[in-house]
Chain A
Amino acid sequence: DVKVTQSSRYLVKRTGEKVFLECVQDMDHENMFWYRQDPGLGLRLIYFSYDVKMKEKGDIPEGYSVSREKKERFSLILESASTNQTSMYLCASSFTAGIRLPREEQYFGPGTRLTVT
């Protein structure tokens, strides 16, 4: 079974703090994604990576950065947390083989609920 793990299930941080969210997958997947989930807005893509040290902006990258130094690990960084970044953060991974595209079957972690006060 594919396993995507996220470092914390719940996190409470103060405004202005630097926040690191970690994600690890154990299936040697090339592609990794960070989403945020908000009621009524669905899942919105923040950043994705299709290879080590590669990253692409998603739909809402402002206020976030990412790091992918190893294939299995993808980190989301909030440089200076703000209250509007209070949300559920979901990490996902997928593999590319042959004609498969990164968009196909994404495997999600359980999420990190971040509260910024």
Chain B
Amino acid sequence: QQQVKQSPQSLIVQKGGISIINCAYENTAFDYFPWYQQFPGKGPALLIAIRPDVSEKKEGRFTISFNKSAKQFSLHIMDSQPGDSATYFCAASSKGAQKLVFGQGTRLTINP
């Protein structure tokens, strides 16, 4: 049973455009929502994370938007660049948990 559902599975965006990846969850006990970025041949690396006490978190061109009532969160990449081409994973975890539950992943391609 997939506790975090991620979409789309793949995404192609033109350079300079906005990339948007969405995740939805059911477990209302989740209180930590990170995004990981994985380049080919590398392991995932933490990109940005949010807790549900805020609705948005921005770091440079990357923004997480969080909608607690809808149980959804999304990653927005502004001014997308070819170097952003990677696979992105959302994840979630509940308070006191020692583990993350990951989404299915989105392969993002930025065309030059």
Measured CB to CB, the residues of A under 8 A from B are 4, 31, 33, 35, 39-45, 48, 50, 56, 58-59, 90, 92, 101-111
Could you mark each residue 78-112 of chain B with 1 if its beta carbon is under 8 Å from any beta carbon of chain A, else 0? 00000000000100010011111111110000000
Say whether A90 contacts B46, CB under 8 Å: no
Total chain B interface residues with beta-carbon distance under 8 A = 24
Once bound together, how far apart are the Cα atoms of A44 and B96, in whole Å? 19
Measured CB to CB, the residues of B under 8 A from A are 2, 6, 9, 32, 34, 41-46, 49, 89, 93, 96-105
Say whether A40 contacts B104, CB under 8 Å: yes
| Closest CB in chain A relative to B21 CB, distance in Å | 13
Sample (29) of A-B pairs whose CB atoms are under 8 Å apart: A35-B102, A40-B9, A41-B2, A42-B6, A42-B102, A42-B104, A42-B105, A43-B44, A45-B100, A48-B98, A48-B99, A50-B98, A90-B43, A101-B93, A101-B96, A101-B97, A101-B98, A102-B98, A102-B99, A103-B93, A103-B98, A105-B34, A105-B46, A106-B46, A107-B43, A107-B45, A108-B42, A110-B41, A111-B43
| Closest CB in chain A relative to B53 CB, distance in Å | 15
**Residues of B contacting A101 with CB < 8 Å?**
32, 93, 96-98
